[in-house]
Amino acid sequence: QVRLVESGGGLVQAGGSLRLSCAASGRFFSRYAMGWFRQAPGKERDFVAGITWSGGDTVYADSVKGRFTISRENNKNAVYLQMDSLKPEDTAVYYCAAEVKEFGLIPRTRDYEYDVWGQGTQVTVSS
């Protein structure tokens, strides 16, 4: 059973930075495509960033392109989301997700393509 635990959220001023971490349990983390999603109050959960098993291919939502960077360390069973130049509209609960049913050759962008989810971490950006 794969478990995901996010950390690193918090309160930051606009223009600031945060680094989110997602720690995964299990032996096969290095095979999984991983992703980050976010959900603001009263809104649907949106894709933020995705990464393949090796980290060799990444994909981003247009709203975060150039400001956010997804990365992973397979030897640590961890995936990260570096968030720079934060804006108030980035305020949301951020979720880490893993696609475990297939070998992660493609960075996924749809939430239904992911099988396992973390509990989320709150990011609040003040203006």
For residue range 1-59, list pLDDT tens digits in order. 899 999 999 999 999 999 999 999 989 999 999 999 999 999 999 999 999 999 999 99
Q: Percentage of the chain surpassing pLDDT 90?
A: 97
Average pLDDT of the segment spanning 88-113: 96
The whole-number pLDDT of residue 121 equals 98
The whole-number pLDDT of residue 19 equals 98
The whole-number pLDDT of residue 7 equals 98
Q: CB atoms < 10 A from the CB of 51, how many?
A: 26
Cα separation, 120 vs 98, in Å, equals: 13
Average pLDDT of the segment spanning 111-125: 97
Average pLDDT of the segment spanning 66-83: 98
